[in-house]
Chains A and B, each alone.
Chain A
């Protein structure tokens, strides 16, 4: 009963390095989301995928790219990390209708130095 699994849990990058955050869900959910959590700003949507094969920008997409590899997996890529991308990143998924609620992963704490 894994739910939403994110890897890695922690990561330190140097400015300019690239990395991919992985997210997988085993609940057969259609929609998947990437959020970042920053103090005083709540969670802000980076990118989302309403269904397999589609992706759309959220509120703060600059500096990120995503891939919906299949129905289970939705990855977030930082091509050239910047200190402003230091944050906690959460992946989430939703079955279908909003009233079901979202299931969140445990988060990835990323520090860019």
Chain B
């Protein structure tokens, strides 16, 4: 069974401070991992996917298979980063058939 754990329900930082949102997963196959973000009163939207190794809005995330982690990081947080962040795992394993499992979510608040 696949499982995603986000240990922090709430995370508060000040503007300009570094931020790290933790995500750990358990899955026996080859997972595809994502970060989704939900801004206030908006729909979930894809922020990052591990396969593309991209940086979006200053955020990066590295897949660490040894530690089964996919932490989201940003060196200098901005107030507009305040949102709910979900880590998610897809079990498709390179096929076209799969389903997404979400962590419990972390509410990030960036104070001015």
Footprint of B on A, CB under 8 Å?
Answer: 30-31, 33, 35, 40-45, 48, 50, 58-59, 90, 92, 96-99, 101-102, 104-107
Residues of A within 8 A of B44 (CB): 43, 90, 92, 104
| Most interface-central of B46, B100, B105 (chain A CB within 10 A) | B100
Count of residues in B whose CB is under 8 Å from the partner chain: 28
For the A-B complex, the count of residue pairs with Cβ-Cβ distances under 8 Å equals 59
Chain B residues at the A interface, C-beta cutoff of 8 Å: 4, 6, 9, 32, 34, 42-46, 49, 51-52, 86, 90, 92, 94-105
Write out the residue numbers on chain B whose beta carbons fall within 8 Å of the beta carbon of A45: 99-101
Given A43-B86, A106-B43, verify A101-B34 contact (CB < 8 Å).
yes
Tell me, in angstroms, the Cα distance from A90 to B45 when the chains sit together: 12
Q: List 27 contacting pairs A-B, 8 Å CB cutoff, sorted by A.
A: A30-B96, A31-B97, A31-B98, A33-B100, A35-B102, A40-B9, A40-B104, A42-B4, A42-B86, A42-B105, A43-B44, A43-B102, A50-B97, A58-B99, A92-B44, A92-B100, A96-B96, A97-B96, A98-B90, A98-B98, A98-B100, A99-B32, A99-B51, A99-B52, A104-B45, A106-B42, A106-B43
